[in-house]
Amino acid sequence: MNRCFIRELARKVESGYIENGEPTAVAIEEAVSAVNVIFGTRLCVNVGRSRLNRLRERYDTFNWLINRPGVRWIPRSKLVLVNEPLWDVIEQEKPFARAYRWDTEPAWEELKIIFGQPVDEPIHKSDDEVYPDTQNNPEEIVVRVPSDHNAGSYIIPSTLT
């Protein structure tokens, strides 16, 4: 149901239902209506507004995280790479970021659309730039996972290598 709401809201924003970087009231109403039709529910618009606030928190937190120094985001692999001591600092600064310690943001592309950032606007480093140099930074190691694996964050402390 959540993915449906996000997808419908992103479609509405792509259709122009955005004002000052936020989806319009009409976009929220129509996304909630779509969820109600698809799932046979009777959600009210206030649920959609509340959900939008939570989505904003997810967007702001993940955007802050992947643009933070010391954090490597590999969009193609959907990996967030952070060394263990930095995770502790991140969790103290933004407790909500703990959600991304073991999993990535599954709706990142849609959230960028919903909150007014064009999807083609490059805010991330390219994949070529994000692979760590393990010779100069032995605490960080890239873990390759099969493409069918659930993407997420992988941390391997240097003490295990």
pLDDT of residue 140: 47
pLDDT of residue 131: 40
CA atoms within 13 A on the CB side of 58: 21
pLDDT tens, per residue, the chain with 161 residues: 999 999 999 999 999 999 988 899 999 999 999 999 999 999 999 999 999 999 999 999 999 999 999 999 888 888 889 988 999 999 999 999 998 988 889 999 999 999 977 554 434 344 444 444 444 444 544 444 434 444 445 454 444 43
| d(C-alpha 62, C-alpha 85), whole Å | 19
pLDDT of residue 101: 86
Where residue 96 falls (left for φ over 0; alpha for ψ -120 to 50; beta otherwise) is alpha
| d(C-alpha 126, C-alpha 76), whole Å | 10
> What is the secondary structure of 48-62 as a DSSP string?
HHHHHHHHHHHHHHH
With a threshold of 0.75, does the pTM exceed it? no
pLDDT of residue 40: 95
pLDDT of residue 73: 87
| d(C-alpha 15, C-alpha 27), whole Å | 9
pLDDT of residue 91: 94
| d(C-alpha 58, C-alpha 80), whole Å | 15
Helix 2-14, helix 45-66: angle, nearest 10: 80
Structure tokens at 62: 């993940």
